[in-house]
Structure 1
Amino acid sequence: MQIYLVGGAVRDKLLSLPVKDKDFVVVGATPAEMLAQGYQQVGKDFPVFLHPSSKQEYALARTERKSGSGYTGFTCYAAPDVTLEQDLVRRDLTINAMVEDMNGQVIDPLNARADLDNRLLRHISESFSEDPLRVLRVARFAARFHQLGFTIAKETLTLMQAMTQAGDLAELTPERVWQEVEKTLSADNPDVFFQVLREIGALAVILPELDALFNLAVENNDTNEDDSTSIGQQALTQLKQSASLSTDLAVRFAALMQQLDNNQISIKALAKRCKVPNEHRDLALQVSAQQENIHNARSLTPVDIIRLFDKTDAWRKPERFQQILLTCSSSQVSKLVDEYKPTQYLMKMLNAACDVAVQPIIAAGFRGAEIKQQLTAQRISTLTALQSS
C-alpha cells in the first residue's frame, strides 16, 4: 500500500498558496485492508475512506469508463492493480495531476510542472470531453488563478467550445451549475469565469438571462460590434468592482444581476431555476428595484427617502440596506466605495430617522395604525429639517 497527497494540495503548495484541503490517493490496497486499519468507508460509487483520526479523505486509485450520459455516467474500477499514473490520467487538468509521497517528494508522470511554471490550464486527454462539468471547472480555475497569470491552453479552449457546440452542457443540472457559480464568486476575479464561458458560447446555455445582456448596447453607444460596448460587459465590470469592495457573495451576486432588468423577471427565473440562496436572490431583487433611487438619492424628497427605507425594510435590516448600498456603489467603477456619495447621505438619513422615538407617540395617546402614521410624519419632518440644514 502506497499513499500519496494528490491534486489541489500539491498544486497550491507548489504555487506557495495556502493549502486548505488535503486529499490522498491510495495505490495497491483493497477496501478490506483500509477497513482493517480503521478507515471509515464513505464512498458509494467508488471507495473513499476517512482517516481514523484526521478524517481526511483517502481514495483508492481507480480508472473510469464512460457508461452513461452526463457528468455522473461513469463506471469506476478500483483495485490493487490500478497504477498511480492510471489514476492521474483520468483527472481533468495537468496541474491537478501531481502527487507528493510521504517523504515530500513530488511525483509528476504527466509533466504537469511545466504547465504550472508556464501558467497554463491544459486538459490531460481527450477523455476530458466525457464530463461536461469540466468546462465550468476550467473556467472557474481561470478565474481563481487569473491574478497569478494563468490562461487556458488554446487546445483546451477549443475542446471546451466543441463540447458546448455539441450540446454536452445541456446535461448539467441547474443546481450543479449554481455550485460552480457560487464557488467562482469567492475568487478574486470572478468576472473571468463568465468571460470564458461567453467566449466559448457556454454562457448562453447555462445562464441565458446573463448572456442576453451582451446583445444590448449601453446608452450613448451606436454600435454593439464589440462586447466592450454591451450591457453584459458592463455587468461583468460591476462584478469585478464588487469583488474589489467586498468578499460577501450575496453582494457579488447582486452586482452581477444588477443590469438584468427592472421588472425582475429574469432574476426571479434564474434564482428559481438554479436554486440560488434566498439571501442572494432577495438582495439582487432589492438592488434591481431600488438602484435608480439610490443613485439619485440627493434628488429624493423626504417622503421618497422614507418610502425607500420602507421598501427595503431598512428599519429592521440595516445590515442588508448597507449591502444594497455597497452593491449599488459597484456600478461606479471609477470611484472607491467611500466616494460613493449616496452611501454616506442615505445612512445619515436612516440614522436620523431611526432616532425618532415611538414611545412619546404612544404616550400621547395614539393607537393602532395612528402610531405608524405619526412616526412616519415625524421622520419626514426630521429629514426635511436635515435636508435644509
Structure 2
Amino acid sequence: MPTYLVGGAVRDQLMNYPFHERDWVVTGTSPEEMLAAGFTPVGRDFPVFLHPETKEEYALARTEKKYGVGYHGFIFNTAPSVTLEEDLSRRDLTVNAIAQDSAGRLIDPFGGVEDINRRCLRHVSNAFTEDPLRVLRVARFAARYHHLDFTIAPETESLLAEIAASGELQTLSKERVWGETEKALNEQNPAIFFEVLQRIGALEDCFFAASQLLDWRVLKEHTRTLPRSEQRWALMLSSSTKEQIQSAHQLLGASHRYRDFAVDVVTMNALFSTSTLSADQVMEALQYFRALKDETKLRCWLDYQISLMPEWQANAEVLMDCLAGAATVSSKGLIAEGYSGPELGLAIKAQQLQQISARLAKS
C-alpha cells in the first residue's frame, strides 16, 4: 500500500516547528484491505483507520464534492483509483497540501514549500470556499505562525470575507466554533485569530452577541504573561458582568472551566477594587474559593492576578498567610465549649476572622 505522510507534520517539519501528531494517506487500496492488514476503523464520515501498533491515523485518499450547505454538505469518493494529487487538491492551504513518501521525497503539486519560504498562507483552489470551517482554521494558523511573520495571501483573505458574507458560518455548530477557538487560545498570538475574524466580518457570526464582550485587543499586551488558555479567555471577558459571561458561555458552548474562571476573575475584581486588604475581603475570598478545603482555585486566580500585576505578589503572600491562619481554627474546642448548629458556624467564622486580622496587622 503506497503510504504518505501528509498535513501538519510535513509542514511543521519543513519549518523546524514542533509537532506532536502524524497523519497518513494511503492510495490504491480499499477499506477491506485496511481491515485485513490489522487497521481499526474510526472514521465516521469517510474511511480513517488506526495503525495496529502506532495508533496513528491513516486515511484513504479521497475526493469530495459539495452538495449542500455547511461543513457536512459533502459527498466523498475513496475509491482505490483516487490519486495522491487529487487528495491533496481538496486541502485548504498550500502549506497543508504537501506529502512525503517513504523515501523522504516531497510531493508538492501546489507550491506549498515555496509558500512556506515566502511565509504565506494561501488557498489551494477556489473550492476553498465550500467549507466554512476553513475561516476559523486559517485564522488559527495565522495566530500560530504570526511570530514567524506568516500572513494570509490577499486573494485568500478575499475568499475568507466571501465565506463570511455568504452566511455559511451560521451553519457551523457551536462545538466546532469553540473547538477552533480553544485551539487558537493556546497559540502564541491568539489575538491574531480574533483580529482576522474581525477584519473579514466573521466575528459576529462566530460568536453572536458574545462578540461584543470579547476585548481581544488586550491579549496583544498580555499573552506572554498569561500562559493558560482559560486565563487569556477570562482577560478578554474581564470587563463583563457575571450574567453576561453566563449568557455568552451558553451561546458558545464553552467548557465549564472557561466559564468558571472568567466568573472568578470578575468576582474578585469587584471584591478587591481597592489596593488595601481587609479581613472581611479576605474571608469572603477564602469562602468563595472554598480555599480551606482546597486552595487550588485560589492559587489559580492569584497566578492570574500576579501575571497581570506583579505588584500583587505581596498581596498574594498575605492572602496565603491568612489562609494558613484561618486553617488553624478547629471546631473541636468550640464544640467542647457547648457551641452547636448555626452558633458553631458563627463562632468558627469569628475565630477565623481574628486569625486573618492578626495576620493582616503583621503584614
The aligned counterpart of 2:153 is 153
1:310 aligns with 2:290: no
Shift of 1:63: 0.6
Shift of 1:213: 4.2
1:289 aligns with 2:267: yes
Aligned counterpart for 1:386 among listed residues 345, 359, 362: 359
The aligned counterpart of 1:205 is 205
The aligned counterpart of 1:123 is 123
1:360 aligns with 2:333: yes
Aligned counterpart for 2:219 among listed residues 228, 236, 239: 236
Shift of 1:170: 0.7
The residue matched to 2:29 in structure 1 has which SS? Answer: coil
Misfit runs of 4+, over 6 Å: none
What is the one-letter code of the residue matched to 2:106?
Answer: V
**Structure 1: runs of 5+ lacking an equivalent:** 215-231
Query: Could you tell me how far apart the structure 1 residues matched to 2:283 and 2:79 are?
Result: 68
Shift of 1:356: 2.9
Shift of 1:338: 6.6
Query: Could you tell me how far apart the structure 1 residues matched to 2:260 and 2:142 are?
Result: 29
The aligned counterpart of 1:324 is 301
Higher mean Cα deviation, 181-190 or 250-259?
250-259
Q: TM-score, structure 1 length as denominator?
A: 0.87
Question: Does the CA contact (< 8 Å) of 1:129 and 1:163 recur in 2?
Answer: yes
Query: Could you tell me how far apart the structure 1 residues matched to 2:108 and 2:11 are?
Result: 11
Query: Could you tell me how far apart the structure 2 residues matched to 1:368 and 1:170 are?
Result: 55
Query: Could you tell me how far apart the structure 1 residues matched to 2:160 and 2:11 are?
Result: 22
Shift of 1:37: 2.1
Q: CA RMSD in A?
A: 2.1
Shift of 1:244: 2.4
The aligned counterpart of 1:173 is 173
What is the one-letter code of the residue matched to 1:32?
Answer: E
Question: Does the CA contact (< 8 Å) of 2:191 and 2:217 recur in 1?
Answer: no
The aligned counterpart of 1:275 is 253
Question: Does the CA contact (< 8 Å) of 2:213 and 2:236 recur in 1?
Answer: no
Query: Could you tell me how far apart the structure 2 residues matched to 1:212 and 1:250 are?
Result: 19
Shift of 1:370: 1.9
Query: Could you tell me how far apart the structure 2 residues matched to 1:233 and 1:271 are?
Result: 16
CA 128–234 in structure 1, closer or farther in 2 if over 3 Å, else same: closer
1:374 aligns with 2:357: no
Question: Does the CA contact (< 8 Å) of 1:26 and 1:60 recur in 2?
Answer: yes
Shift of 1:385: 2.4
The aligned counterpart of 2:107 is 107
CA 212–131 in structure 1, closer or farther in 2 if over 3 Å, else same: same
Matched positions, count:
362
1:255 aligns with 2:228: no
What is the one-letter code of the residue matched to 2:23?
Answer: D
Aligned counterpart for 1:301 among listed residues 269, 278, 291: 278
Query: Could you tell me how far apart the structure 2 residues matched to 1:292 and 1:50 are?
Result: 50
**Structure 2: runs of 5+ lacking an equivalent:** none
Shift of 1:340: 4.5
Q: TM-score, structure 2 length as denominator?
A: 0.92
Alignment of 1:332-351 (within 5 A): 332=308, 335=309, 337=310, 340-351=313-324
What is the one-letter code of the residue matched to 2:176?
Answer: R
Question: Does the CA contact (< 8 Å) of 1:178 and 1:274 recur in 2?
Answer: yes
Higher mean Cα deviation, 348-357 or 120-129?
348-357
Shift of 1:380: 1.5
State, as a whole percentage, how many aligned pairs show the same letter: 40
Query: Could you tell me how far apart the structure 1 residues matched to 2:36 and 2:158 are?
Result: 47
CA 310–341 in structure 1, closer or farther in 2 if over 3 Å, else same: same
